Amino acid sequence: MKRTRLILIILLAVLLLAYIVLRIVKPPESSKAIFRLNLEKLQKIEIFNAEKAVELILDEGIWKVKGDLLWKADSLKIQQFFENVLTAEYPTTAMSEAEGAIERYQLQDEEALHIRVSDKSKKVHVLFSNLGNAWDYFRYDGDTKVYQVKNKVVQAFQPELINWRSPIIIHYWEEDLKQIKVQHEKNTYTLAREGLEWTFHDARNDFKVEHDNYSLGKIISILQNFRSYIFVSGEDEQYRKAFENPMCTLWITDVKGEVRKLDFAEFDAHRYQLRIDDDMSVLYQVEFNTVFRFIRNAEIFKRRGGA
């Protein structure tokens, strides 16, 4: 009895040792980059599904959204795309290559998210899907093998134009500004900066603006981060008529002496458009609150704080 028990213990020990050894020496699963391209030589990125499409091209070293207008892409979105998609790797063992796998994983052409990336010599076209899991599935165009990638590509990189173009249209730090000249129906005035001090000047006033003046702060704030998520072509006659008599015009002079002209026009009772440097090829929709910051009277700039 004791001999039998000893043999069993030895067998269990051998099996346990064999299991540990196999776990230690088991070769790691191989992985590859999904997009095996020279990322430094990429020229075009296409993202599309059955309903929408976004095309990005590299123009003079800057990624831009191509469409009716060529627009600078959101640099943060591009960075995320490179980090989470273009450099992503996947286990080379297929999840499935059985008949019906494409349908089971919703990777049909009309169901999937397509990403096609091109460098100077070749293209890689990949279809992605997500079935509500933590990770996505994908296949290469023309192939039936289904793989899994440990990223959520479908959720994060939909072909919505608003997600890809940069919303920033004007950006000045306060120290970049030298002068802001404003002309509107009731007045023409100038805000000038000398060091840390701002002064207000119009036909009847010439005074120092307190550093905590609320209205000045609102103007500086919008110029630091002037965004618009809706833009249109200004070639339409209705837009041209709106800018024949702008409700407000700004001339912004920076410390280098460069001047940028901004015109605000009321298109209808609820929409206001911005034109930059008389360029009617693209107009930017803004809120009235944005325009209102610039059409305040002189007394507002004499106050301290938000009083």
Please state the three-class secondary structure of the chain as a single string: CHHHHHHHHHHHHHHHHHHHHHHHHCCCCCEEECCCCCHHHCCEEEEECCCCEEEEEEECCEEEEECCCCEEECHHHHHHHHHHHHCCEEECCCCECCCCHHHHCCCCCCCCEEEEEECCCCEEEEEEECCCCCCEEEEECCCCCEEEECCCHHHHCCCCHHHHECCEEECCCHHHEEEEEEEECCEEEEEEEECCEEEEECCCCEEEECCCCHHHHHHHHHHHCEECCCEECCCCHHHHHHCCCCCEEEEEEECCCCEEEEEEEECCCCCEEEEECCEEEEEEEECHHHHHCCCCCHHHHHCCCCC
Q: What is the mean pLDDT of residues 219-235?
A: 88
| Count of domains for the chain | 2
| 143 and 195 inside one domain | no
> Do the domain assignments include residue 90?
yes
Examine the fold and report which residue of 164, 180, 196 is the final residue of a domain before the chain moves on. Answer: 164
| 78 and 143 inside one domain | yes
> Do the domain assignments include residue 15?
no
Examine the fold and report which residue of 126, 142, 164 is the final residue of a domain before the chain moves on. Answer: 164
> Do the domain assignments include residue 135?
yes
- CATH code (residue 147): 2.60.40.4250
Examine the fold and report which residue of 109, 138, 164 is the final residue of a domain before the chain moves on. Answer: 164
Whole-number pLDDT of residue 239? 85
Whole-number pLDDT of residue 133? 84
pLDDT surpasses 70 at 154: yes
> Do the domain assignments include residue 193?
yes
| 219 and 284 inside one domain | yes
Distances (CA, A) of 207 to 192, 201, 204, 236: 11, 7, 10, 43
| 232 and 149 inside one domain | no
| 298 and 177 inside one domain | yes
pLDDT higher at 54 or 97:
54
- 253: phi then psi, degrees, rounded to nearest 5: -110, 125
Q: What is the mean pLDDT of residues 16-27?
A: 59
Residue 237 structure tokens: 């006659």
Length of the chain: 307
Whole-number pLDDT of residue 101? 92
| Arithmetic mean of pLDDT over the chain | 89
Range of the domain at 58: 31-164
| 159 and 177 inside one domain | no
pTM: 0.70
| 293 and 270 inside one domain | yes
Grade residue 247 by pLDDT with cuts at 50, 70 and 90. Answer: very high
Q: Which of 12-21, 179-188, 291-300 has the lowest mean pLDDT?
A: 12-21
| 94 and 203 inside one domain | no
**Residues 55 and 67 sit within 8 Å (Cβ to Cβ):** yes
